[in-house]
Amino acid sequence: MVLTVLSPSLSAVASACVYAHGIRRQKQTIRQCQNPATAARLEEMRPLALRNGHRLLAVEAAYLLFVLALAATGLNNEPEGASFVTLILALTSGGVVALLAVTHLASDPSGSLVLPPLLLMLFGAVYPILQ
């Protein structure tokens, strides 16, 4: 019962932090683009940053799917409290990778900035169901 409330709320907090970081980073990039020399350099680096951001997004998705598969098999049910530890570790590790992904994806104005926090929210909603 506690896991049902704890998982979505923790993932919502983690997602909000990741999204806020992404918005702050995107505003910083927009401010830096006001200088023509910096704008040209950032435009040069944009494809690499997007490629790295998409790779990190794939790593985050694969890791969270692995944790969900672990929860579905029931391997983290013993000892008592292991599911809580797994939840905390998954949100911490997934959150760090999501922060890195958002940092790279902030150079893209298209809206891919929402994907890493969305993955964390989805994980938080599905995890208690599989327990």
pLDDT band at 1 (very low <50, low <70, confident <90, very high): low
Q: Which residues contact 46 (CB under 8 A, 6 or more apart)?
A: 107, 108
What was the pLDDT predicted at 42? 85
- What's the pTM? 0.86
What was the pLDDT predicted at 59? 94
Residues across the chain: 131
What was the pLDDT predicted at 6? 87
Residue reference for tokens 């150079």: 107
What was the pLDDT predicted at 112? 81
Q: Which residues contact 118 (CB under 8 A, 6 or more apart)?
A: 15
Q: Give me the DSSP letters along 11-58.
A: HHHHHHHHHHHHHHHHHHHHHHTTSHHHHHHHHHHHHHHHHHHHHHHH
Q: How far is CA 124 from CA 20, 31, 47, 101, 109, in A?
A: 18, 34, 31, 18, 27
pLDDT band at 125 (very low <50, low <70, confident <90, very high): very high
Interatomic CA distance for residues 41 and 29, integer angstroms: 11
| 130: helix, strand or coil | helix
Residue type present at position 13:
V
Instruction: Work out the average pLDDT over 41-54.
Output: 89
7: number of Cβ within 10 Å? 23
What is the 8-class DSSP label of residue 65?
Answer: H
Q: What is the mean pLDDT of the chain?
A: 88
